[in-house]
A and B are shown apart, each in its own frame.
Chain A
Amino acid sequence: MQVIPTIFAVLTITFLLLHLAPGDPVLRLIPLHTGVSKEYVDSIRAKMGLDKPMYIQFVIYLSNLLSGDFGYSTYYRLPVWPVIMAALPRTLLIAGSGLALSVIAGIPMGVEAARRTHGKLDYLTTSLSVAGYSIPVFWLGLILMIVFAVNLHLLPSGGMSSPGITLTGLDEALDVLRHMILPTIALAAGQVALISRLARASTVEALSENYVLTARMKGLSDRVITYRHAFRNAILPVVTMIGLQISVLISAAVLTEIVFYWPGVGLLLYQSLLARDYPMLMGIFIITSIFVIMSNLLTDLAYAKLDPRITYK
């Protein structure tokens, strides 16, 4: 996977958006509602090199980014980078947990369904999984919220921590955990569906391979054959898919955060949208893209580790 060209493409897209969209680019970069001095506007214009030819502007733009200058949020009046980086871990908390949950639930479900094809577990898994990835994640979040928070009052209805109280240490962690439950489940639902479906298919495929016959010849038990022999081969396509799903997961997290008012990058995106905070919007796009690209790289490396036939260059 080509990391550099992809990042370059991301930056180019962002740049083009700023300059090709109707309207004056500068106006998008400055807070509009309070009066700003003409000098400030001119200084921004100069800094971006907006009076210079397009390609020079691009170079200036790139060099600004590389030096860590992602611009100034017109809403928060703060540099974009720190605001996003503060929110990102909170997004990763639910996204990561959602992914972990879906892997822990989905893989065994798929593998066991493969061992008993046409059995009850199999029909259950197959029919639920298509449904699972057909559910709009934000709607699922809404429903979960309505059922568990609003009506049953079992779980908190939004936010990352209970308002009004300051907790520390373990109490704080538990509080966050309680707030995490619903968004994590909402995120996991769609992923479980995909993962269990693929796990099932690739396990069935692996179990029909010849080396399984050799394993049977050795007199190994059912479970050993499935989990030691077939599983190690069946897991490979699943790892690949998880890599592909990371960008989908981030997008799903955005929607989920809005429903649950979870203070991550998604909520930030939403607020920036409402406030027409263009520097923040662009910054979020760039940073989340880079994050996804890096995760994909990690996944590729993990795959290379798992499959001894692949060497990573």
Chain B
Amino acid sequence: MDSHTETLLNINDLRVYFYTYSGTVRAVDGVDLRVGDSEITGIVGESGSGKSTLAFAVMRLLPLKARIVTGTIIFEGQDLASLSEDNVRHVRGRKISMVFQDPLSFLNPVMKIGDQIAESMKGLQQQEAEERAIDLLQKVGIPRPREITHEYPHQLSGGMRQRVLIAIAMASNPSLLIADEPTTALDVTVQAQILELLKELSKKTKTSIMLITHDLGVIAETCDRVYVMYGGKIMEYGGVTNVFENPLHPYTFALLASALSIQEFKEDLVGIPGEIPNLMDPPAGCRFHPRCPKAKAICAKKEPELEVHEAGHGVRCWLYAQE
């Protein structure tokens, strides 16, 4: 753990399981994670790695079929995992906000933009709330904010809608902003703008951001630290520069290689052979071993622990652990 910053959010051994008709899905299966003050922490993984579930668990926005089985989520002295729903509502939307992936479906189509932003602001007069909403829209870079407050989501472009979602999230001055794939549904050109916006806001308002994505490029652009997630567990973590320059876990290595091969238009695109694990019945031992080019005999039998390798850089892999 980087000892330079204070810890804002501290997740310890979190397990979130989905109880479905066909079986129990262990979406998050023992995650330890820290987000520091005024820090942008990234969580990267393929779809199905459990990263979104992790985000929703922190917000206590899990669907009815999911449960936090065990673990703690310490935020400002409280364990969010064990709070009652009533108490969580005081934290949610005030101290912790979330920005979602698809700006169109996450905005109410029949409500005006201004009203949807004003809702996040509690206890303000009509006039005041309106002014603040216009102010917020301006801060997130929306032109003609006063007119936009009277418009509806379908009248805006994708990028604008995402800015609105960000405005909604920032309206209550949260200390932590969780962004779940905020750029995935947007055009490439707009993606960069939104990421810039997030970085700027974080710096200006000292808001920490927990950024969920599958795109390593996004991590490289925005984050200070990164957690690599696979099969419901953390495989590697550390400062972004460290992890990218010196990827320890074979999975991280593979992710980087594949991303680079796309980026540099290499002849052969590098993929990762095999499929993501079935979280209802995960492989024994290390979850990545069926697809790992460096798997040893022990990898199929025993699961490695998440251990610190060097300052602030940890990995869960038998290549580094002392057996």
Residue interface mask A196-224, B partner, CB < 8 A = 1: 00000000000001110111111111000
B152 touches A211 (CB 8 A): no
**Residue among A211, A215, A232, A307 with max Cβ neighbours from chain B (10 Å):** A211
A contact patch SS: helix
Task: Report the interface size class on chain B.
Answer: 20 to 34
Interface residue? B297 (CB, 8 A): no
Q: Tell me, rounded to whole Å, the shortest Cβ–Cβ distance linking A227 to chain B.
A: 13
Query: Of all chain B residues, which has the CB nearest A221?
Result: B89
B106 touches A220 (CB 8 A): no
Residue interface mask B113-135, A partner, CB < 8 A = 1: 00010011000000000000000
**Which residues of chain A in 215-272 are interfacial with respect to chain B, using CB atoms and an 8 Å cutoff?**
215-221, 228-229, 232-233, 236
A214 touches B110 (CB 8 A): no
B61 touches A211 (CB 8 A): no
In the complex, A71 Cα to B226 Cα: how many Å?
85
Interface residue? A308 (CB, 8 A): yes
Q: Which residues of chain A are near B92, meaning CB under 8 Å?
A: 216-219
A233 touches B119 (CB 8 A): no
Task: Report the interface size class on chain A.
Answer: 20 to 34
Residue interface mask B150-185, A partner, CB < 8 A = 1: 001010000000000100110010000000000000
B109 touches A308 (CB 8 A): yes
In the complex, A213 Cα to B106 Cα: how many Å?
7
B61 touches A229 (CB 8 A): no
B110 touches A210 (CB 8 A): no
In the complex, A251 Cα to B299 Cα: how many Å?
75
In the complex, A233 Cα to B105 Cα: how many Å?
13
Q: Which residues of chain A are near B98, meaning CB under 8 Å?
A: 217
A220 touches B119 (CB 8 A): yes
Interface residue? B102 (CB, 8 A): yes
Query: Of all chain A residues, which has the CB nearest B107?
Result: A211
In the complex, A218 Cα to B96 Cα: how many Å?
9
In the complex, A308 Cα to B113 Cα: how many Å?
12
Q: Tell me, rounded to whole Å, the shortest Cβ–Cβ distance linking B222 to chain A.
A: 21
B97 touches A217 (CB 8 A): yes
Interface residue? A294 (CB, 8 A): no
Q: Which residues of chain B are near A216, meaning CB under 8 Å?
A: 61, 92
Interface residue? B111 (CB, 8 A): yes
Query: Of all chain B residues, which has the CB nearest A217?
Result: B98
A213-B100, A308-B152 known; A218 vs B110 contact (CB < 8 Å): no
Interface residue? B206 (CB, 8 A): no
Q: Tell me, rounded to whole Å, the shortest Cβ–Cβ distance linking B289 to chain A.
A: 35
A211 touches B93 (CB 8 A): no
In the complex, A218 Cα to B172 Cα: how many Å?
9
In the complex, A215 Cα to B165 Cα: how many Å?
11
In the complex, A14 Cα to B120 Cα: how many Å?
59
B106 touches A211 (CB 8 A): yes
Q: Which residues of chain B are near A306, meaning CB under 8 Å?
A: 110
In the complex, A211 Cα to B153 Cα: how many Å?
11
Interface residue? B65 (CB, 8 A): no
Interface residue? A313 (CB, 8 A): no
A214 touches B107 (CB 8 A): yes
Interface residue? B94 (CB, 8 A): yes
B105 touches A211 (CB 8 A): yes
In the complex, A215 Cα to B109 Cα: how many Å?
13
A233 touches B93 (CB 8 A): no
Query: Of all chain A residues, which has the CB nearest B98?
Result: A217
Query: Of all chain B residues, which has the CB nearest A206?
Result: B108
Query: Of all chain B residues, which has the CB nearest A233?
Result: B110
Interface residue? B144 (CB, 8 A): no
Q: Which residues of chain A are near B172, meaning CB under 8 Å?
A: 218
In the complex, A93 Cα to B94 Cα: how many Å?
50
A217-B97, A218-B119, A309-B154 known; A211 vs B109 contact (CB < 8 Å): yes
Q: Tell me, rounded to whole Å, the shortest Cβ–Cβ distance linking B164 to chain A.
A: 10
Query: Of all chain B residues, which has the CB nearest A306?
Result: B110
A219-B92, A219-B93 known; A209 vs B105 contact (CB < 8 Å): yes
Q: Which residues of chain A are near B105, meaning CB under 8 Å?
A: 209-211
Query: Of all chain B residues, which has the CB nearest A208?
Result: B63
Query: Of all chain B residues, which has the CB nearest A232?
Result: B110
Closest 5 CB pairs of A and B: A219-B93, A210-B105, A218-B93, A211-B108, A219-B92
Task: Write the residues of chain B forming the contact surface with A, with a CB cutoff of 8 angstroms.
Answer: 59, 61, 89-94, 97-98, 100, 102, 105-111, 116, 119-120, 152, 154, 165, 168-169, 172
A sample of 6 inter-chain contacts (CB < 8 A) reads A217-B61, A219-B91, A232-B108, A233-B108, A233-B109, A307-B110
List 5 additional contacts besides A214-B108, A217-B61, A217-B97; criterion CB under 8 Å.
Answer: A213-B61, A214-B107, A216-B92, A307-B110, A308-B110
